[in-house]
Amino acid sequence: MTIPKTNMNEILPIVGIGASAGGLEALDTFFTSMPTNNNMAFVVVMHLDPSHVSLLPELLQRQTKMDVVKITDCVRIEANRIYVIPPNKNLSIINRELRLEERSDLRIKLPIDYFFKMLAQDQGSNAICVILSGTGSDGSLGLQEIKAESGMVMVQSPLSAKYDSMPKNAIATGLADFILPPDEMPQCLIKYIKNIHPNDSSNENNTAISNNILHEILVLIRNQIGHDFSLYKKKTIYRRIERRMHVHQIKNIKDYLSFIQKDNHEITILFRDLLIGVTSFFRDKEAFDVLMNSIIPELLLKKPDNYTIRVWIPGCSSGQEAYSIAIALLECIEKSKSNINIQIFGTDIDEYAIDHARSGVYPDTIISEIGEKYCKKYFTKEGNKYRINKSLRDMLVFATQNLIKDPPFSKIDLICCRNLLIYFGPELQKNILPIFHYSLKDDGILFLGPSETTGQSNLYFEIIDKKWKLFKRKYKKKTTTSSLHFSDPMSSLKMNRINLPATTTQIEEFSALQLVEIILKQSHIAPCVIIDNQHNIIYVHGRLGDYLEPAEGRSSSNILDMARTPELKDILSHSIRKSLLQKNEIQKKSIITGNKEDKKFIDITIKPLPDFSGFKDLLMITFLENVQKKNTENNKETAKDSDLNDDNILRKELESTRENLQTTIEELETSNEELKSSNEELQSTNEELQSTNEELETSKEELQSLNEESVTVNAELQSHIDELSTANDDIKNLLDSTQIATVFLDTELKIRRYTPKMTDIINLLPSDVHRPIDHLSSSLQNIKLSDAAAIVLKTLEKIETEVRDDKNKFYRMRTLPYRTANNVIAGVVMSFEDITKIKDVEIELRESEQRYRSLFDHCPVTIIELDISELKNYIVNNQLISVAQLKSHLKSNKIMDNNIKNLIQVLNINESGLSLFNEPNKKKLLDSLPNIIINHDYIFNQIKIIIEECTNIIFTSKIHTSEKSITNCEITITIPKHVSNERALNSILVIIPETNGREEG
C-alpha cells in the first residue's frame, strides 16, 4: 500500500527511540500497536554488535506495514517511516536529514544520548524521545536536552521491561512525561501530536495567550511554590506552558488555567518544567581548556600560600558544572604545585537538583564527558554509577538560593554562571550583573555561557575571552545592596539626612522667652523677625502688617514669600544672602513701600545672631519707619512739580536696581563657588557614608552567607551522622552476635571496643573503655596481652598463637594491626577463638593413634600397609583392564623398568612381620618388601578387584620369607574402615597369619 507523505513545510514529529538489551521485544510490541498512518517518523537507535550485520530492519518490517529503512548517510526523514541505525555508527540530524558519523574511541558507547542531543538541537519542542528496555543509562543525558527544548519524554515502565536499568535511570531524572508499557505508548503519542498540529502551532498559541492569563499562572506558582517568574523570558515560559498543555491534550490556555487552579500537583510539575536546564561535566570543552590553560594559572600566581579560592556557581543544577570547576582547579593547583585551598558554593532554586548535587552520584555514561583519567582519579565506581570522591566532595557546599531575591555570596574569586542568564528577561539580566560585580573581588573572573553576554554592563566587566565569555571585574567602588534591588528600609532616610532645614517644630522646642531675652539684650524694640538660613520665620516681634503678609495658597513661613512688594522681596533676598556670607550687619535705608497715596519709607537692618541650642546662622531683621524722610519728601512735593519728582524717583529706583543686580551677580558667583565646594564636600561625605554602608552591608551579607553555609553544612553533617549511626548500630549488633572474643585497642593500647565474649577472658566493664589494657588482668596463662599488641604495632605483622586460661580452655589468639579505609594504622585488633573442643579431639586422636599403634605392633599376625594410590590412578587414568595392558603401557612409556611393583609403596609393617621375614631392621625390610611377591600379575589382578569393587579378598600366594625360603600362605587384603568408595581408596592392609603353608628351600 502507499503511505501518505507529509509536506516538508508541515510540522513532522520525529520520535527517537532508544533501546538495548531486551529492546527488540519492546520494539515489536510498540510497532505492532502503532497505526500505519500516524503522521510521525521513527528513528530507532540500539546498541548493536559492530562485528555483525544487523538484521534489525528485517525483524521490524515483520511487525509493521510502515517502511523500515536502514540509514545511510544523508537520508531525508519522511512521515510514516521507521529509520534504523547501522552498527558502530553515531547518528545526527540536521534540518530533518539523518547523517552518519564515525564513533569515537571511548570505551563506553552512547549512541542514544548522542542522537537525542542532536534531535533536541534540530527539532526543538517537536522532538520526542522514547526509552525502552536496556542495561546501563544511555539516553538519560540526552533526554534532558530534549526536555530543555520543551520536547516530550516517554519511558517504558520498568515492570514491563526485560531489562529495567535504562528505564529506571531515565525515570530517576524526574523528567519523564509518560511511563507506560510499550503497547500503550502508540495511542498516547497520537493524542500528544494532535496538540502540536500546525493549526495549533506555538505562534498562534503565543498570540492567544494574554498577559493577564500568564500573570495569573505565574501568581499561582508564586503563591504555592514561593518563586516569581514574572521577569523570566516570556517566550520560554510560553513554550513550557504549551508543552504541559500538549501532555494533557488541552488546546486552550484558559482551560489550562482552570485545570491548574484545581490541581496543585500540576503547578509543581510546571514549576519543575520551568527550571529545566541542560548541564553536563566540562560542557563546552574548549571553554574549559581556556579556563585551565590561561585563566586559573594566572589567578593562582596572584595568590599567597594557604589562600582559599572562593568560587560561586549560581544555577548549578545537579552539580556537574560545580564538580567540573573543582576538578579544573585541582588539576591547575597540582600542575603549579601551589599550596592553595578551594571552597566552592553551588546554589540553585531547585531543591531536587541540589539534593542530586549533594549526593555526588552520576551514571557511568559521564565517562564520555569526563574521560577515563578523571573518572579514575576523582570518582569511585559503584555498580553502574560513579560517586565523587570524598576529598573532592568536601570542597563543595550546595544550597538552595533564589538569585533574584536572596543575598549573594561575597569576596568571590570566580563566578561560573553558564546558561542561566539566557532564561532571564533584559530587566532581570540588568539587575543580576551588578550582583556579580558586588560578589567578586577586584580582578575576579566571571564565566558565562557561550550564548550570554554582559550586554550594556561594560561599566562592571572587561572582556578576557570574547568567544567563551570570560570577563574580569573592573575596579570600581562596590555596589551597595540597596542599589542591587535588595530591600533596604533605611535608604529613604539616608537620602534626607543631608542639609535638612530647621523646621518650626524644632524651634518650638525652645521657649519664646529665650528669643525675647536675646532681643531685649540687644535693645531692639522696633518690629522685627528672626529667620533661619532657609529664610523661614521662626519668631515675630511687633506689628509687621505694613511690610509682610501671608502669601496666597499653601501656608509658608518664608519671609520672601510674605513680602508685600516685589521691591521689598528683592532687597530682602540679596541683603539676607550678603549678611549670611559676610557675617556682618546690613542696613538698607529709605526703602519705599506702599502706593503713591500711602507711600512709606522704611529702614531695614539685618543682623546675624549668636549660635545657640544647636541653631546656626540665625538673622534678626528689623523694620523701622523713616518718618523724617517721609516729611522731607512731602515738602519736596510742594516745591516741585510732580514730573520732576517722578523723574528723581525713577533715577533712584534705577540706581537701586543696578546696585541690587550687581550684588545679586556677585552673590550668585559666590554661591556657585560655595555650591561647588559644598557639592565636593557632599560627594566626599557621600562616598564615606557609602563606604561605611558597604562595609556594613558586606559584613551583613558575609554573616548571612556564613549562616546559610552553616545550615547547609549542618544538614550534610546530620546526614553523615545518620549514616554513621546506622553503621555503628550494624557493627554493634554484629559484634554482640559473634561468638569470638574480640577487643579493639588504639595506638596507646587503650580499649576502644570489645565483644561480649571478651568478658570470659578479661573481666571487662563498660567503664573500662579508654583504659590501658595492661591495667586489667586476664585469665590467660603465660602471656601478657599488652606485649603482644606492642609487637604488632611495631612490626605491623600478624601474630597467631595458642593460649590457655586458668579454666583449662584453649584459644587461638590472633593479633593484627587495625587499619582504616585510608590504610592508616589506628591501633590493634585481638581476637580469641575458642578451640577447646578441637584440642580435646586432638588428644583423643593421639590416644587413639597410640592404641592403634600398640595393637598394630603386638598383633600375632603379620600386617603390612601398602600405598596403592599411584597404581590406582595409573589404572583409572589410562583405563587399563588387564595385566597385559598395564605392562604394555609401562613398556611403551618406559616407566619404572616395566615393573608393576614399582607402582606400590610399602608404608609400614608390624613386629610379627619382622619375625616372619627374619629381619630386625625395619627400614631395610620396608625397602625390600616389594621383592617378596612371586607372582606380581596375580597380585595386580587381586588389587584391581579391590579397586573396582572396594571389598576385602582372601587368596593364597607364594612369597619370599627369606633369601632362600619361599612360603605358600594365605593372604588377606582388606581396606581401612573409613574407606567407603573407590575415590577414597588410597591404601590397603595385607594380613599374613602365622606360616600355614609349605616352605620350600
Per-residue pLDDT at 490: 28
Per-residue confidence band for 15, with pLDDT thresholds at 50, 70 and 90:
very high
Copy the grid coordinates of residue 98. Answer: 539523518
DSSP letter for 292, please.
Answer: I
Q: Which residues contact 845 (CB under 8 A, 6 or more apart)?
A: none
> Is 355 designated active site?
no
pLDDT of residue 887: 58
Show the CA angle centred on residue 832, arms to residues 831 and 834, nearest 5°: 150
d(CA 803, CA 815): 12
pLDDT score, position 154: 93
Q: In the predicted model, what is the mean pLDDT of residues 363-380?
A: 86
Q: Helix 234-247 vs helix 211-225: angle between axes, to the nearest 10 degrees?
A: 80
Can you give the pLDDT at residue 634?
Answer: 54
* Percent above pLDDT 70 for the chain: 75
Query: Is 960 a residue of the active site?
Result: no
Reading the block at residue 911, the C-alpha cell is 613386629
pLDDT digits (tens, 9 = 90+) for 515-563: 555 554 555 467 888 888 888 888 887 788 888 888 777 777 889 888 8
Residue 501 per-residue DSSP state: P
Q: Of 47, 246, 356, 535, which is the active-site residue?
A: 47
Q: Where are the alpha helices (DSSP H) in 106-252?
A: 111-123, 140-148, 165-172, 185-194, 202-208, 211-225, 234-247
**pLDDT the model gives residue 479:** 53
**Residue 339 vs residue 675, higher pLDDT:** 339
Q: Is 0.75 surpassed by the pTM of this model?
A: no
User: Which pLDDT score is estimated for 829?
Assistant: 93
Spot the catalytic one: 113, 122, 138, 532. Answer: 138
Q: How far from chain centre, in Å, is Cα 996? A: 95
Is residue 751 within 8 A of residue 770, CB to CB? The reply is yes
DSSP state of 469: T
Per-residue CA distances from 724 to 361, 708, 745 (Å)? 19, 24, 20
Respond yes or no: is residue 47 known to be catalytic: yes
Q: Residue 905 and residue 115: Cα distance in Å, rounded?
A: 74
3-state secondary structure of 912: helix
DSSP letter at 544 equals: -
- Is residue 729 over pLDDT 90? no
Which tens digits make up the pLDDT trace of 302-326?
888 889 899 999 988 888 899 999 9
Look at residues 169, 167, 194, 191 and name the one whose alpha carbon lies nearest to residue 179: 167
Mean pLDDT check: name the lowest of 136-145, 683-692, 806-815, 986-995.
Answer: 683-692
- What's the pLDDT score for residue 155? 94
Which pLDDT score is estimated for 16? 94
Grouping H, G, I as helix, E, B as strand and the rest as coil, residue 744 is strand
Residues 18, 138 contacting (CB under 8 angstroms): yes
- For residue 64, give Cα distances in angstroms to 29, 36, 72, 184, 793: 10, 7, 21, 16, 73
- Please, what are the domains in the chain? 14-194 (3.40.50.180), 211-270 (no CATH), 285-473 (3.40.50.150), 509-639 (3.30.450.20), 738-839 (3.30.450.20), 859-1000 (3.30.450.20)
Place of cell 588482668: 777
Question: Residue 681: what pLDDT?
Answer: 61
Question: Residue 41: which pLDDT band, with cuts at 50, 70 and 90?
Answer: very high
Q: Dihedral (C-alpha) 266, 267, 269, 271: value to the nearest 10 degrees?
A: 160
Which cell numbers in the block locate residue 171? Answer: 525515570
**Cα–Cα dist 538/874, whole Å:** 134
Least Cα distance to 686 among 832, 848, 830, 483 occurs for: 483
Write down the pLDDT at residue 746: 92
Put the strands of the sheet holding 379-382 in their side by side order. Answer: 361-363, 385-388, 379-382
Tell me the pLDDT tens digit for each residue of 231-254: 887 777 877 888 788 777 787 778
Q: What is the pLDDT of residue 322?
A: 92
pLDDT computed for residue 512 by the predictor: 44
How many Cα neighbours within 13 Å face the side chain of 628? 3
Contacts of 380 (CB under 8 A, 6+ apart): 386, 387, 389
Element (H, E) at 711: helix 642-737
Measured between alpha carbons, how far is 95 from 114 in angstroms, rounded to an integer? 16
List phi, psi (to 5°) of 800: -130, 125
| Euclidean distance between CA atoms 879 and 175, whole angstroms | 68
Task: Compute the mean pLDDT over every residue in the chain, rounded to the nearest whole number.
Answer: 77
- With vertex at residue 666, the alpha carbon angle to CA 661 and CA 671, rounded to the nearest 5 degrees, is 120
Active-site entry in 20, 133, 579, 831 = 20
